[in-house]
Amino acid sequence: EQRVRQYLHFCREERPFGVQLFGSEPATMAKAARIVAAYQPDFIDLNFGCPAKKVVKTGAGAALLSNPDRLQAIAEAVVDAVSIPVTGKIRSRWKIPNRKTLTGQVDEMMIEIAQRLENSGIRAVTVHAVASGTTQLRSDQSKETHGQKIPYPNNVRWAAIAKIKKAIRIPVIGNGGIWNANDAKRMLDETGCDAVMVARGARGNPWIFSQISHLLCTGHHLPPPTWEERKKVILTHLALTLDFYGESQGIRVFRRHLPFYLKGLPRSTNLRSKTGQLNDVTTLLKEIEEYFDALEQEQ
């Protein structure tokens, strides 16, 4: 129960706040949804798209895309179990067992699944437009984002979002391949989806949300964050992490985030190597502050 409370902790400033669940048994999922609902989130999201082996081998996550009947039963059970809105997340394609390649028929199956979710009372569907089971990256294509070279997967398929949007009446949220504000606008324009979901594009780049919002509202781009703004956000992230987890665990958790903030920044390799194993908060703070102070002085 303590771990559940930690997972479900949120601040009122974070609303609307949702909790995502995955599982393979309708009754168990309904019970989990009732437990979660007691913490008063704004909605519950059902993850039918997770490709992680430890999830798929239990019959949950993306494995349910190969079992539409069970997927629908789970959706119906959760919708009936709680009074708050329930949403669902799927992938645009999934490598069906015993098939060596993905085929066009899979697109039609995902449309059927989206329709089943709508008929089950699901209030919105997120479509992750990257096919699971196809993780190859094209080495000749990358995207420059905030000084970072981001691999551009050859399996991002936004057209599938547009197909599903046309097939159902509930809101469709597009996901996959959004690394900056331009990507978000292009997805909305090309697919007609109702909203976009940012995932890895936000790692080390929390400004992406205000940048997207500003572009969509004004048609103009926000300037990139200054060195001082970057430092302030990193240190705030560190402080919040330490407050939430405690110093010992918190510094280990934060060390996983710091490289994403630093990736692509001038002469950050040395700082990453220095801080990679640090367990002393005072030293970590000193290294971060000195690095960004030096960048400011160079301007």
Retrieve residue 75's tokens.
């959706």
Cis peptide before 153 (omega within 30 of 0): no
Contact call for residues 93 and 157 (beta carbons, < 8 A)? yes
How many CA atoms are closer than 13 Å to the CA of 57, on its beta-carbon side? 3
Using DSSP's 3-state secondary structure scheme, residue 58 falls into coil
- Do β-strands 137-145 and 148-153 pair in parallel, antiparallel, or remain unpaired? antiparallel
Question: With 0-12 CB in 10 A as exposed, 13-18 as middle and 19+ as buried, what is 96?
Answer: middle
- Among candidate residues 11, 50, 193, 217, the one labeled active-site is 50
Question: With 0-12 CB in 10 A as exposed, 13-18 as middle and 19+ as buried, what is 60?
Answer: buried
CB atoms near residue 137 (< 10 Å)? 12
50 is catalytic: yes
- The alpha carbons of the chain give a radius of gyration, in whole angstroms, of 21
- The span from the CA of 281 to the CA of 176, in Å, is 35
176 residue type, one letter: G
Dihedral in degrees, nearest 10, Cα atoms 137, 143, 148, 150: -20
Looking at the annotation, which residues are catalytic? 50
